């Protein structure tokens, strides 16, 4: 039979608008979260992080919100620019049986910025 590739969710925004990218995480015991940006042909790059004892953290043009009640993380990008076009994904830190920390990555969201 024919195989169909899975496509990442895509968010398309107008240049200058604000973007909100969402992520649902899986483990209520996760204590640390990171947002990464991956541009075409490059590896993921760190954007911002947040610990589970916080609800909000701001960086330059980016804000991360954490809602532990519903296990939801969001990344807000203010005044989105063409250079923000990339795949964004979240990572949560879980701990294995040996208490070794490990990052678990989400599937990612493609952000397209229209000029």
Partner 1 sequence: EAQVTQNPRYLITVTGKKLTVTCSQNMNHEYMSWYRQDPGLGLRQIYYSMNVEVTDKGDVPEGYKVSRKEKRNFPLILESPSPNQTSLYFCASSLGGGAVEHFGDGTRLSIL
Give residues in contact with partner 1 (CB under 8 A).
Answer: 5-7, 32, 34, 41-46, 49, 89, 93-95, 100-103, 105-108
On whether the CB atoms of residues 88 and 109 are closer than 8 A, the answer is yes
We find the least distance from the C-beta atom of residue 73 to partner 1, in angstroms, to be: 15
Nearer to partner 1, 97 or 115 (CB): 97
Nearer to partner 1, 90 or 113 (CB): 90
Nearer to partner 1, 17 or 31 (CB): 31
- C-alpha to C-alpha distances, 81 to 2, 6, 73, 85, 86, nearest whole angstrom: 38, 27, 22, 8, 11
Residue 41 gets which letter from DSSP? T
């Amino acid at each position: 039979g024919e195989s169909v590739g899975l496509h990442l969710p895509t968010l398309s925004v107008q240049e200058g608008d604000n973007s909100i990218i969402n992520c649902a995480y899986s483990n209520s015991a996760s204590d640390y979260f990171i947002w990464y940006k991956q541009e075409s042909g490059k590896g993921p790059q760190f954007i911002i992080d947040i610990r589970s004892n916080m609800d909000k953290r701001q960086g330059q043009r980016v804000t991360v919100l954490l809602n532990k009640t519903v296990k939801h993380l969001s990344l807000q990008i203010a005044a989105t620019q063409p250079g923000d076009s990339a795949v964004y994904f979240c990572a949560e830190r879980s701990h294995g049986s040996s208490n070794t920390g490990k990052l678990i990555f989400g599937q990612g969201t493609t952000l397209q910025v229209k000029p």
